[in-house]
């Protein structure tokens, strides 16, 4: 009973916060307090939930039954717990950051911004805790819709155009392919529940399983597998806190998380391995990793470069997922967490630079490091974690992904991972290096420029510290990832 | 007592119609119409309850025994459709007051409510009767009333729209009548049950096939099946707001009902399979979904945009009929109900905008979402339901429709249904973008939210869209029962 209440609270509290934010719109200080309190509570609640979950407690809840045999139902399992933990912990950090950013930048429509943000978190939690594909799909679409006003926040033609691409690709793939995959699954098995070991084995001709898997792989547009990745760079017109939490963590991770769930609990790792379901598709992910990295190198706009880096990193997770071996799945699950903390740090830094200097291009950052040491130090740490060097958390997920590649004896995949790490170095590392050691171009002497407002710095310090902490102490994520992958 | 409900459903609005016409100007005619519609809604609800619990109800008009006398025969199928019609009427009428006062000349208002009640009479009559000629009579009552209603629109083009509908509608009704005549010449009966019993023995006559073809085309005209839909966009666009709401949510739905009844109950099992009807349904359904949706995208008048979307939605329903399976018909019926909810809500919201700014062209509504947040909210929910986003009624429709198509291995239809949803994303997105993200004009800033009398009916439909997206006991349960009744279905 307590457990069900806890589950419900995590789902509903952000929604209640959204209502509170709208009600208190006339007083920004109170409004921001609502955000902070709600996000703080959520962080606390997911931690309580995680500790109870590790203690063996069960969380399950059925709400409605809109279609016979398919309920809107929630059930917490290890992978969902991991995802909820990441999103819940980072919401509070991002809230601190967002308040500093939105005020520092004098953005308009802040009430809509914070309210939509809260709804997005609720949708993310719904995805994390879904007990079946229908529930997951419901929140998946809700997340798309709730983040749309955030993408189009600026309201100018660029933002509207970005919003169109965003909505077009995400809704298009989800309705055209993902929903079709769900319906085919339903018509084959008469069930859409997530079951350990999968539900499809014995119901589908293995020859067709690859096609069905392709429906999911491309239908889950949030995983940004090429050629359906364009929405992510398009979403970068949003204010930076949105890019940071939603388009480096919540939305994109919801995509790969969904794919992981489908792989583990609909297909089943065993089924995939014995029938080689993903044999051909795995190269799509490998290609995405490499192509997106190369595109990232060509981008001078910092946020665009980070976006393509995200596309590439997401396909690490997709790759690990499709390996379907234990190490691959552990690596994929852990990368959800590790990439989240590193990438959010990078976006925080990009936003901080923008607020302090209004600079968006990588080529303008030479020498800025001396004026903004904290920002660029955080950026440096994030970069190293993304590359996967010790002593940063990113190393662990890459380690397991590499291990997975070795296990599948596909050494080409291992090579892809290695090359991509090198590419990461090429497109990310020069940024902090040029900032610290480069010379400002022209006559600019960054004497007037100081660090971004304090809430922004605080948020960056927290997440970059987390990158280091998770190297020494990856246990919570490792245990959850192991529990999730252990089902095979 | 229970049996008489079917008669009361027809007689009450029929008697009230002339009374409304002679009542003094002012709000009395409206009040009468409201009360009548609410009573009908309650009666229709009781009737459905009775049918679900006690099985088919038969009422002999004037005590004449069928097949000689007219029989009202109620099963889950028509009780369900009657409930939709009556409930929509009961929700639309409170909404009609303000928008009618604004759009219709004062001296014509009693006539307006009178015509609306006659239209209701006709539509309810079609659902109640078990006699194919009687269907024609009620079809004409509702059609004539709706021609008059459409011509009351403020724009002068309303006359041409009404005239166009009059011509097309009359052709449709005449075709239907010719078909009924041909059937009668072979069977000597007009009672549906009776005809259904006799038809198998005369099925080999060409006359019967000809009659079938006439009837199908006649009804296809009434339900605006692509490419016989040409009257609909104009009629919906230029009719007064309340009339658009009412007709969009009921008229085509009743025509779909007649089609189902004749296709699967009047004609014996598998007959439609021997004709090209099923293939034609699928082809025109598919063409309607795609072409009408594309048309909708390029409309600059919002009412016309939604009208084309209605043509597309009829395509979905007909596609379900074309599958000729229990699952397909169930999906059609579910969509029939859900579409009434979503289009009702959307047209009400557009009507509220027209009430405030007197127009509904894309460029005139820029930025109004902020001035009219509740109306905007209704458009968002209605639009999401139209797209078929999970959590809304529209999703349930799509789910059953696609399931039915997968069951038939009709992969092209599956693709078309999903592609149609994507086209809906485009036109709904266009609407929402114009309302919310385009800069507001100076006149737009002075616009206020619609009055409560418009918002409350609107939101009763908006919440229905959400409710029936989560709890489908009523819709799916009744639709499945109704589909099972149609014995003539292939499997």
Q: What is the mean pLDDT of chain B?
A: 87
A265: distance to nearest CA of chain B, Å?
A: 21
pTM higher than 0.95: no
Residue of B416 and A279 predicted with greater confidence = B416
User: Which tens digits make up the pLDDT trace of A161-174?
Assistant: 888 888 888 888 99
Is it the case that residue B321 has pLDDT exceeding 50? yes
**So what's the pLDDT on residue B347?**
92
Is it the case that residue A303 has pLDDT exceeding 80? yes
**So what's the pLDDT on residue A97?**
85
DSSP A72: E
Burial (Cβ within 10 Å: 0-12, 13-18, ≥19) of residue B184: middle
| DSSP codes joined into one string, A273-297 | HHHTTTTTTHHHHHHHHHHHHHHHH
Is it the case that residue B2 has pLDDT exceeding 60? no
Q: Which residues of A touch B406 (CB under 8 A)?
A: 183-184, 187
**So what's the pLDDT on residue A224?**
87
**So what's the pLDDT on residue B119?**
93
A155: distance to nearest CA of chain B, Å?
A: 6
Q: How far apart are the first and last CA of chain A?
A: 30
**So what's the pLDDT on residue B245?**
92
| ipTM exceeds 0.85 | no
CA closest to A154 among chain B residues = B437
For residue B488, name the pLDDT band (cuts at 50, 70, 90).
very low
The H-or-E segment that residue B72 falls in is strand B71-74
Separation CA A216–CA A484 (nearest Å): 20
Q: Which residues of A touch B418 (CB under 8 A)?
A: 175-176, 179-180
B366: distance to nearest CA of chain A, Å?
A: 13
Residue B68 contacts A, CB cutoff 8 Å: no
Residue boundaries of the structural domains of chain A:
2-485
CB-based contact A160 B406, cutoff 8 Å: no
**So what's the pLDDT on residue B346?**
93
Residue B273 contacts A, CB cutoff 8 Å: no
> Which residues have a Cβ under 8 Å from the Cβ of A434 and sit 6 or more positions away?
A362, A365, A366, A367
> Which residues have a Cβ under 8 Å from the Cβ of B488 and sit 6 or more positions away?
B263, B264, B265, B267, B268, B269, B270, B271, B272
Q: Which residues of A touch B421 (CB under 8 A)?
A: 175-176
| Stretch among A136-140, A361-365, B26-30 having the lowest mean pLDDT | A361-365
CA A377 to chain centre: 23
**So what's the pLDDT on residue A488?**
41
CB-based contact B396 A64, cutoff 8 Å: no
Residue of A447 and B254 predicted with greater confidence = B254
Task: Calculate mean pLDDT across residues B175-200.
Answer: 89
| Interface residue of A109, A165, A183, A185 to substitute, partner B, most B CBs within 10 Å | A183
The CA distances from residue B124 to B40, B49, B179, B257, B377, in Å, are 9, 17, 22, 12, 32
Is it the case that residue A192 has pLDDT exceeding 80? yes
Is it the case that residue A369 has pLDDT exceeding 60? yes
Is it the case that residue B291 has pLDDT exceeding 50? yes
For residue B292, name the pLDDT band (cuts at 50, 70, 90).
very high
Is it the case that residue A49 has pLDDT exceeding 90? no
Percent of chain A scoring above 90 in pLDDT: 3
Task: Calculate mean pLDDT across residues B17-43.
Answer: 89
CB-based contact A66 B433, cutoff 8 Å: no
Across the interface, which of B396, B419, B425 has its CB nearest the CB of A167? B425
B273: distance to nearest CA of chain A, Å?
A: 25
Q: Which residues of B touch A168 (CB under 8 A)?
A: 425-426, 429
Cis check: omega of the bond before B67, within 30 degrees of 0: yes
For residue A376 the two structure tokens come to: 């660029």
Is it the case that residue A1 has pLDDT exceeding 80? no
For residue B491, name the pLDDT band (cuts at 50, 70, 90).
very low
**So what's the pLDDT on residue A444?**
59
Task: Calculate mean pLDDT across residues B42-53.
Answer: 89
Positive or negative CA dihedral for B412, A225, A283, A322?
negative
CB-based contact A176 B476, cutoff 8 Å: no
Is it the case that residue B174 has pLDDT exceeding 90? yes
Separation CA A344–CA B304 (nearest Å): 46
Task: Calculate mean pLDDT across residues B131-142.
Answer: 92
The CA distances from residue B31 to B28, B123, B159, B180, B488, in Å, are 5, 21, 28, 39, 43
Contact B86, B124 (CB under 8 A): yes
CB-based contact A152 B472, cutoff 8 Å: no
Is it the case that residue B444 has pLDDT exceeding 80? no
**So what's the pLDDT on residue B135?**
92
Surface of B (427-456) touching A: CB under 8 A: 429, 433, 437
Separation CA A379–CA A147 (nearest Å): 26
The neighbouring-strand residues paired with A72 are A64
**So what's the pLDDT on residue B314?**
92
For residue B26, name the pLDDT band (cuts at 50, 70, 90).
confident
Residue boundaries of the structural domains of chain B:
269-491
Burial (Cβ within 10 Å: 0-12, 13-18, ≥19) of residue A291: middle
Q: What is the mean pLDDT of chain A?
A: 84
> Which residues have a Cβ under 8 Å from the Cβ of B338 and sit 6 or more positions away?
B385, B393, B394, B396, B397, B465, B468, B475
For residue B182, name the pLDDT band (cuts at 50, 70, 90).
very high
CB-based contact A67 B396, cutoff 8 Å: yes
User: Which tens digits make up the pLDDT trace of B466-479?
Assistant: 888 888 888 888 88
Interchain CB contacts (distance < 8 Å): A and B: 69
DSSP B226: T
Is it the case that residue B1 has pLDDT exceeding 60? no
Dihedrals φ, ψ of B208, to 5°?
Answer: -65, -45
CB-based contact A67 B388, cutoff 8 Å: no
| Interface residue of B370, B385, B437 to substitute, partner A, most A CBs within 10 Å | B437
Is it the case that residue B282 has pLDDT exceeding 70? yes
Q: Which residues of B touch A179 (CB under 8 A)?
A: 398, 402, 418
User: Which tens digits make up the pLDDT trace of B358-408?
Assistant: 878 888 888 888 888 888 999 999 999 999 888 888 898 888 999 889 888
Residue A335 CB-half CA count within 13 A: 30
3-state helix, strand, coil in chain B (%, to 5): 80, 5, 20
**So what's the pLDDT on residue B490?**
42
For residue A363, name the pLDDT band (cuts at 50, 70, 90).
confident
**So what's the pLDDT on residue B487?**
59
Task: Calculate mean pLDDT across residues A322-343.
Answer: 86
For residue A441, name the pLDDT band (cuts at 50, 70, 90).
low
Task: Calculate mean pLDDT across residues B96-117.
Answer: 88
Separation CA B95–CA A112 (nearest Å): 30
């Amino acid at each position: 009973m307590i457990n069900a209440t806890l589950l419900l609270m995590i789902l509903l509290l952000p929604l209640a916060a959204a209502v509170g934010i709208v009600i208190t719109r006339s007083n920004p200080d109170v409004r921001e307090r609502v955000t902070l309190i709600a996000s703080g509570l959520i962080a606390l609640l997911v931690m309580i939930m995680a500790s109870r979950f590790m203690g063996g407690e069960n969380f399950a809840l059925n709400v409605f039954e809109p279609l016979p045999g398919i309920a809107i139902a929630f059930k917490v399992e290890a992978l969902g717990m991991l995802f909820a933990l990441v999103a819940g912990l980072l919401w509070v950090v991002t809230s601190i950051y967002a308040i500093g950013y939105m005020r520092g930048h004098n953005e308009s429509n802040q009430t809509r911004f914070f309210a939509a943000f809260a709804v997005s978190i609720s949708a993310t939690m719904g995805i994390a805790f879904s007990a079946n594909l229908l529930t997951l799909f419901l929140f998946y679409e809700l997340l798309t819709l709730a983040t749309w006003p955030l993408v189009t926040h600026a309201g100018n033609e660029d933002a509207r155009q970005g919003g169109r691409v965003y909505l077009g690709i995400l809704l298009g793939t989800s309705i055209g392919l993902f929903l079709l995959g769900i319906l085919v699954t339903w018509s084959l098995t008469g069930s859409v529940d997530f079951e350990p070991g999968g539900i499809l084995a014995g119901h589908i001709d293995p020859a067709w399983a690859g096609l069905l898997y392709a429906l999911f792989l491309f239908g889950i547009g949030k995983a940004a597998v090429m050629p359906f990745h364009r929405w992510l760079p398009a979403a970068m017109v949003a204010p930076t806190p949105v890019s940071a939490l939603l388009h480096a963590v919540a939305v994109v991770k919801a995509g790969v998380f969904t794919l992981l769930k489908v792989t583990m609990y609909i297909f089943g790792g065993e089924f995939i391995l014995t029938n080689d379901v993903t044999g051909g598709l795995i190269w799509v992910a490998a290609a995405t990793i490499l192509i997106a990295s190369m595109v990232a190198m060509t981008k001078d706009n910092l946020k665009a470069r980070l976006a393509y880096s995200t596309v590439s990193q997401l396909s690490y997770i997709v790759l690990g997922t499709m390996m379907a071996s234990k190490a691959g799945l552990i690596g994929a699950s852990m990368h959800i967490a590790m990439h989240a903390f590193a990438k959010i740090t990078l976006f925080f830094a990009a936003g901080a630079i923008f607020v302090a200097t209004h600079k968006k291009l990588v080529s303008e950052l030479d020498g800025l490091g001396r004026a903004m040491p904290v920002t660029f130090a955080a950026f440096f740490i994030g970069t190293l974690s993304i590359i996967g060097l010790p002593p940063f958390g990113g190393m662990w997920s890459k380690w397991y992904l590499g291990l997975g590649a070795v296990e599948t004896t596909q050494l080409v995949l291992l090579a892809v991972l290695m090359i991509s790490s090198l590419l990461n170095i090429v497109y990310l590392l020069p940024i902090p290096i040029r900032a610290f050691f480069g010379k400002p171009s022209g006559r600019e002497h960054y004497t007037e420029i100081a660090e971004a407002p304090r809430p922004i710095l605080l948020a960056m310090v927290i997440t970059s510290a987390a990158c280091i902490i998770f190297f020494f102490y990856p246990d919570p994520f490792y245990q959850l990832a192991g529990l999730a992958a252990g089902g095979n | 007592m229970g049996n008489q409900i079917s008669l009361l459903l027809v007689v009450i609005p029929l008697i009230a119609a002339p009374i409304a016409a002679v009542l003094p100007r002012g709000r009395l005619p409206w009040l009468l119409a409201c009360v009548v519609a609410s009573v009908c809604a309650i009666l229709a609800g009781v009737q459905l309850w009775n049918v679900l619990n006690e099985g088919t109800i038969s009422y002999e008009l004037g005590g004449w025994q069928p097949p000689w006398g007219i029989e009202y025969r109620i099963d889950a199928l028509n009780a369900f459709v009657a409930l939709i019609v009556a409930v929509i009427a009961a929700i639309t009428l409170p909404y009609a007051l303000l928008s009618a006062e604004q759009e219709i000349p004062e001296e014509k208002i009693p006539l307006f409510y009178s015509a609306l009640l006659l239209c209701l009479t006709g539509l309810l009559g079609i659902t109640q009767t078990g006699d194919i000629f009687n269907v024609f009579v009620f079809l004409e009552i509702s059609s004539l009333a709706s021609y008059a209603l459409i011509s009351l629109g403020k724009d002068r083009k309303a006359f041409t729209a009404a005239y166009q509908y009059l011509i097309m509608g009359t052709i449709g009704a005449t075709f239907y009548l010719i078909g009924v005549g041909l059937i009668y010449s072979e069977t000597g009966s007009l009672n549906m049950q009776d005809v259904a019993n006799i038809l198998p023995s005369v099925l080999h006559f060409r006359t019967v096939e000809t009659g079938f073809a006439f009837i199908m085309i006649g009804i296809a005209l009434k339900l605006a099946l692509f490419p016989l839909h040409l009257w609909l966009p104009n009629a919906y666009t230029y009719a007064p707001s309340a009339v658009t709401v009412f007709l969009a949510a009921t008229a085509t739905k009743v025509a779909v009902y007649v089609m189902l009844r004749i296709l699967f109950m009047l004609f014996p099992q598998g007959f439609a399979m021997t004709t090209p009807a099923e293939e034609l349904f699928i082809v025109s359904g598919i063409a309607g979904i795609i072409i009408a949706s594309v048309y909708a995208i390029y409309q600059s008048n919002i009412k016309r945009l939604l009208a084309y979307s209605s043509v597309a939605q009829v395509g979905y329903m007909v596609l379900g009929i074309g599958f000729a399976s229990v699952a397909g018909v169930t999906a059609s019926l579910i969509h029939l109900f859900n579409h009434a909810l979503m289009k009702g809500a959307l047209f009400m919201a557009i009507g509220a905008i027209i009430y405030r700014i007197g127009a509904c062209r894309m460029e005139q509504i820029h930025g109004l979402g902020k001035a009219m947040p509740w109306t905007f909210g209704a458009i968002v929910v209605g639009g999401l339901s139209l797209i078929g986003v999970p959590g809304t009624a529209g999703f349930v429709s799509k789910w059953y429709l696609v399931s039915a198509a997968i069951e038939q291995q009709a992969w092209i239809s599956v693709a078309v249904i999903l592609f149609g949803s994507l086209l809906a994303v485009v036109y709904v997105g266009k609407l929402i973008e114009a309302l919310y993200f385009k800069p507001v004009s100076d006149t737009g800033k002075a616009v206020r939210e619609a009055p409560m009398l418009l918002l409350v009916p609107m939101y009763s439909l908006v919440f229905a869209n959400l409710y029936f997206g989560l709890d489908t006991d009523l819709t799916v349960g009744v639709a499945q029962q109704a589909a099972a009744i149609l014995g003539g279905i292939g499997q």
